Amino acid sequence: MYVLALVTQKGGSGKSTLSAGLAVAAMQRGERVALIEADAQGTISKWKERRAGSYPRVDCVADPAEIEPVISRLHAEGVWLAIIDTAATNNALATRAIASADLCLIPARPSPADIEAAIPTLIAIRRINRRFAFILNQTPTRGCRLSEAATSLNSLGVLALPFIGQRNDHQDALGAGLGVTEFAPEGKAAEEIVALWDWISERLIVESNDHGQAALKTAC
Ligand SMILES: Nc1ncnc2c1ncn2[C@@H]1O[C@H](COP(=O)(O)OP(=O)(O)O)[C@@H](O)[C@H]1O
Ligand SMILES: [Mg+2]
């Protein structure tokens, strides 16, 4: 099983929106997916209450010690991907989520404040040597701030592709209890989320295997 964690202490950067959107996009590719809500704000559980279908399942955790047992249970139940949505703070729950993740995703809006706010999260990720990628979210359709933001994030680490535009479909999908790929499958927002899932899944599978091979070689 693979674990993704959406992390950054900046609120409103898109952790919950992207968690739900990516979970549904992965599910539509035939994967067994679960969401782990590690945020008392409850955006994901409220989204799930508005949702008609039973998938993806949502598990809520309030205590850092609960994360590992929940992951083990999901693994035993045959879940292929768990996505952890965390709160807008560097609390112990977020730190444990980072430690459990195969890949940490750090969404940031293209503003200096958002990028600066990601630094403590980045330090926490590097301290425990986890893999990570930034996601540039809520990007305007035009303007030079975008390339400045992309350059800043690229200098800090890997930047996922494509950038995710500021589009109403994301907000409407969240409100309707849907993934954006269910809400408006032909829309630009859905197209971007599918492409982002492809980018993430490629890194997750290929690089996790490389990591495993390297660990195996070291052990031998
Ligand atoms: N790409 C996007 N386009 C439009 N609205 C977005 C996008 N990403 C997030 N939002 C909206 O921004 C707000 C904050 O997003 P949210 O996912 O709750 O952030 P976080 O979980 O990081 O606090 C929500 O209203 C959400 O629907
Ligand atoms: Mg949230």
Which residues, by Cβ under 5 Å, contact ligand 2, an ion?
A: 15-16, 43
Q: With H, G, I as helix, E, B as strand and everything else as coil, classify residue 115.
A: helix
- pLDDT (average), residues 188-205: 96
Q: With H, G, I as helix, E, B as strand and everything else as coil, classify residue 217.
A: helix
pLDDT above 60 (res 220): no
pLDDT digits (tens, 9 = 90+) for 119-128: 999 999 999 9
CB–CB of 7/106 below 8 Å? Answer: yes
pLDDT confidence of residue 193 = 98
If you ran DSSP here, which 8-state letter would residue 2 be given?
Answer: E
pLDDT confidence of residue 70 = 98
pLDDT above 80 (res 166): yes
Instruction: Give percent of the chain above pLDDT 70.
Output: 92
CB–CB of 16/44 below 8 Å? Answer: yes
Q: Where residue 147 falls among pLDDT bands split at 50, 70, 90?
A: confident
Query: Average pLDDT of the chain?
Result: 91
User: Is the Cβ atom of 117 under 6 angstroms away from ligand 1?
Assistant: no
Higher-confidence residue: 212 or 40? Answer: 40
Q: How many CB atoms lie within 10 A of CB 162?
A: 16
CB–CB of 108/134 below 8 Å? Answer: yes
- pLDDT (average), residues 159-178: 97
Ligand in nearest proximity to the CA of 107: 1
User: Is the Cβ atom of 110 under 6 angstroms away from ligand 1?
Assistant: no
Q: Give the contacts of 163 (CB within 8 A, at least 6 positions apart).
A: 135, 136, 137, 139, 146, 150, 192
User: Is the Cβ atom of 86 under 6 angstroms away from ligand 1?
Assistant: no
* Dihedral pair phi/psi, residue 17, rounded to 5°: -60, -45
User: Is the Cβ atom of 22 under 6 angstroms away from ligand 1?
Assistant: no
Which of 83, 170, 191 is the best mutation target for the ligand 1 pocket, counting ligand atoms within 8 Å of the beta carbon and taking the most? 170
pLDDT confidence of residue 213 = 54
Taken in order of first residue, the domains within the chain and their CATH numbers are: 2-219 (3.40.50.300)
* Helix residue ranges, H only, 77-183: 92-100, 112-117, 119-127, 145-156, 168-176, 180-183
pLDDT digits (tens, 9 = 90+) for 79-126: 999 999 999 988 899 999 999 999 999 999 998 888 899 999 999 999
Higher-confidence residue: 147 or 141? Answer: 147
Which of 10, 17, 93 is the best mutation target for the ligand 1 pocket, counting ligand atoms within 8 Å of the beta carbon and taking the most? 17
CA distance 86 to 93: 8
pLDDT above 80 (res 216): no
User: Is the Cβ atom of 152 under 6 angstroms away from ligand 1?
Assistant: no
pTM of the model: 0.94
pLDDT above 60 (res 149): yes
Higher-confidence residue: 143 or 127? Answer: 127
Higher-confidence residue: 188 or 150? Answer: 188
pLDDT digits (tens, 9 = 90+) for 28-74: 999 999 999 999 999 999 999 999 988 999 999 999 999 999 999 99
